[in-house]
């Protein structure tokens, strides 16, 4: 008789487990979507003057000539 009770509890899934599973899958999907959108955007980092970093034509002497 214990085996049938054990099988019954093993097959039953708590509603909270299902909800947390759905939230976890949704969170992972959002992470993947944001990662893909960020890769597609190809952002360019800018310095304080608005020029792209790594493409300055002036020597980096701190602004003093």
Q: What total number of domains does the chain contain?
A: 1
Range of the domain at 32: 13-37
- pLDDT: which is higher, 53 or 19: 19
Q: Which residue has the tokens 């020029």?
A: 51
Q: Where does 1-65 show beta strands of DSSP type E?
A: none
Q: Which residue has the tokens 């909800």?
A: 19
| pTM recorded for the entire structure | 0.51
- Asked whether residue 22 is assigned to any structural domain, the reply reads yes
Q: Let me know: does 56 contact 47? Beta carbons within 8 Å.
A: yes
Q: How confident is the model over 34-59, as a mean pLDDT?
A: 83
- Asked whether residue 2 is assigned to any structural domain, the reply reads no
Q: Has residue 47 got a pLDDT over 60? A: yes
Give me 16's structure tokens.
């909270």
Q: How confident is the model over 5-19, as a mean pLDDT?
A: 80
Q: How far is CA 57 from CA 3, 31, 49, in A?
A: 78, 38, 13
- Asked whether residue 3 is assigned to any structural domain, the reply reads no
């Amino acid at each position: 008789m214990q085996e049938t009770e054990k099988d019954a509890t093993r097959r039953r899934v708590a509603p909270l487990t299902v909800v947390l599973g759905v939230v976890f899958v949704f969170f992972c999907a959002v992470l993947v979507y944001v990662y893909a959108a960020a890769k597609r955007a190809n952002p360019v980092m800018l310095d304080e003057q608005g020029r792209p970093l790594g493409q300055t034509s002036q020597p980096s002497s701190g602004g003093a000539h």
